[in-house]
Chains A and B, each alone.
Chain A
Amino acid sequence: MLRRLATSPPGAKGNSARQSALPIRIWRAKWLYLALLTPVALLLIFEWLPAFSALYNSLYIWNGGKVHFYVGLEHYERMLSDRTFRVAITNLVGFVFFRVIMQTVLPFFAAEMIINLRSQRWSYWWKIIFVFPMVVPTILNYLIWRFIYNPQVGLLNEGLKLVGLGEYTHAWLGDPLTVMWALAFVRFPWLPTLQFLIILGGLQTIPQEVHESAAIDGAGFWRRLFYIDIPMTRRQITLAMILTMLFMTQRFDLFLVMTDGGPGYSSMVPALQLYQSAFHFLEFGYASAIGVVLFVAMLSLTVINLRVSAGAAND
């Protein structure tokens, strides 16, 4: 039935015939539609409903309990004059920019190195090594990095002392000048598995003949990189960048575990502010408003993501 549905030539019959056939076609495919109902219902309940309830609640003062009254756009106005939100946005932009660059460039070079390995066996093992961090719990990673940055007994300061650079030891997370850099360096050397696999997949689709022709024409590694590999994986690179942007914008666990936004507000980000507004201060209305702003920002990025993905598929 699937094949028949898929292979029915569009426009083979007139419009009226097609319209009259539609209910029949739906009836014939009823089990498929029924099977679709479950995921659609779950999506509506767990994804769409919270998103739209946040939109509704952002117009109210709500303490999560019985205090619930309409205030219109007051929360959005407050956001414009909220010093914490301004700092949080500034921090986020810098953090996302740095991580997008790093989490695209370095996975690209890692994928390039693997593609250029002659031994299939080594290539396989290198892929395993790069994919392995995916199974390490993120929270464990953060705790390790907290320990690395510990001012008194941390690995970083101990390492600096060991190589005679003791005067540079520092409370990396406790100093507003270094805290965002310290957070940006968490999970160094930034080889996120998903972005790595996307770019690797892109590089693998480049026909071998193209590389062979370039080699015959005398193109070295750098020329091949800039004139073949980067242009031909442009879609994948863009997708990896957009995914990184989305992930980093939503990220609040890193900031919560490592610094809780401090010292002061120097590592505050909007997602953490949302969490704190809701669960520390029981300001669910304001938290919802922050959520709506983040939602709109991420929806825009998702639309871009979809268009890019669609473009890549068409290619």
Chain B
Amino acid sequence: MFRRLLLVSLCLLIFGALAGYAQDDITIFATVGAYYPDEPTENNPNPPSMMNDIVAEYEAANPGVNIELVDVPSNISGDQWRSTVFNGQNEPHIIVNNYIRVWQEQGNDWYVPLNDYIEAPNPYIPAGTPGHERWADSIPEVVWNTTYHTGSGNQYVVTVNAVAVGFFYNIDLLTEMGNDTKFDLPYSLWADWDTMITEMGAIAEAGVEPLAMSMSTASPYTYNWFDGTSLTSMYIDHIESWWEPGATWHALNQREFACAIQNGLISANDDAFADWIQLLADFEPMWVDGYATMTWDEAYRLFITGKTPFLLGNAASQTLNVTRDADFNWGISYFPPVTETTSAYAANNESAYLVGGFTAGFTMTDRARREGIEDQVIDFFMYMTAQPQWGRIVTESPRSIPTQLGLDVPDALKPTVAFLELPIRALKDPDPRLSRRYGEDHRRLMQEYFTDQIDFDTLIAEEDRLMTREARVVIAENDWSCDFQME
């Protein structure tokens, strides 16, 4: 009797195990960027945790589907991490990435085009809310226009975040120095670029370094923001002729910029280019000593300890930090426009340009296709980014302005909404303009010029060589035609 019982129990166990195995659970790995539910630390005592709830709800509603949130290690660059996981075919199924990086990486076939999926209904968006009938409708057209121009005609990214950069300023320190600058424009303290330099120059003359920022090649983004927005202003009369046919105002993709170089529509030998270099050289004395090797964190500490009155930073995520760390009154402003007072080439320029914008979004990776689970992955993708879920995520942790229609702007980020109403800069950071190598070599050349290692003529000659070479490489690698600009 006992033996039979044992045998039956064993059989049941084996069947149970086989049944469990046959059920074939699906595990979807996903990165969620700044919303990863991290453990609390001294520097981040209240990390976001809403993603845990979203995942738990989805798993409860979809038995057999497991969601694993993946934290990207902070000790290696995102580029390095993606290179490693994609080449090891161990990439998560969903990855947060900057659409610009996706442009640059599209040749690797790492990402699945989402063109058909975004045309389909999103069942997780309530009826009557934009996106229920057609997922793409949940996000404004301007966002799609910004992230669409990949040169390949494919849309790889669903961008649910909008961010702007800005000048944080220390009101107490400026008042103490007798500077009572008030907003001259709805979004900026200064009416134009020259006024900004003049006012910062007065602060420098009083013995205070005006602007905390970084041009370190390890964290160069704050320099990149000046670079792209001012170059856009200097070429305002020409940019439309560089667009692909039928395009409206947008951030130029690599193909458009590379072809503009190849077709001679922009060159380092242009007078406008020389004026642009001069504009940056006039601004450089306002930057803190050591900016060339300073990290952004070091620049941040200078501002937060009251050593500099201005800090250039991400107006979304850094707003949270400044709110937490500053023990002085502060405000946030934006770049002023470059106008004819700075250069004749900007005579027709009327606006400042948005840096940032609709940068980071979600992509579906080729792993979903390899494993044949695209439908399940896209289902979670739709669930997570639908307004009811995403609204809870950004309400808990307001790190960026949600792009989905029907969601409110978190209170902390309302001052930056005016920035987001500016037109996007047509010429982006040096890296996405052309290539990562161009970006880095360009910054190093500018550093050499600013630190008097090379003269103006050498800079122009090296820039010309660099732009020409990288344009040729990018066009050849992607097998692009540049005929569209000649028509």
Contact = CB atoms under 8 A, between A and B. Distances in A.
A261 B109 CA distance: 32
B453 A266 contact: yes
Contacts of A276: 440
Looking at chain A, what size class is its interface with the partner chain? 20 to 34
Contact of A174 (B77, B110, B289, B445): B289
A179 to B, nearest CB: 7
Contacts of B451: 174-176, 263-264, 266
A64 B302 contact: no
A209 B12 CA distance: 85
B293 A179 contact: yes
B167 to A, nearest CB: 19
A276 B436 CA distance: 11
Contacts of B110: 65
A152 B293 contact: no
Nearest to B298: A150
Interface stretch (A31-39, A128-136, A279-287, A301-309): A279-287
Contact of A64 (B87, B291, B440, B453): B87
A173 B293 contact: yes
Interface in B266-291: 288-291
B293 A259 contact: yes
B107 A152 contact: no
B216 interface: yes
Given A150-B298, A175-B451, A281-B436, A258 B107 contact: no
A204 to B, nearest CB: 41
Contact of B447 (A173, A258, A264): A264
Interface of chain A, main secondary structure:
loop
B304 interface: no
A18 B266 CA distance: 79
A174 B87 contact: no
Interface in A270-290: 276, 279-283
A279 B298 CA distance: 24
A174 B448 contact: no
A156 B307 CA distance: 18
Nearest to B292: A263
A193 interface: no
B290 A280 contact: no
Nearest to B81: A279
A260 B436 CA distance: 15
A214 to B, nearest CB: 51
Contacts of A263: 292-293, 444, 447-448, 450-451, 453
B86 A65 contact: yes
A174 B83 contact: no
12 contacts: A65-B83, A67-B477, A150-B290, A153-B301, A173-B290, A174-B290, A174-B292, A176-B448, A260-B293, A261-B444, A262-B293, A264-B453
Given A173-B293, A260-B293, A262-B217, 6 more contacts: A150-B290, A176-B448, A264-B292, A264-B454, A279-B77, A279-B79
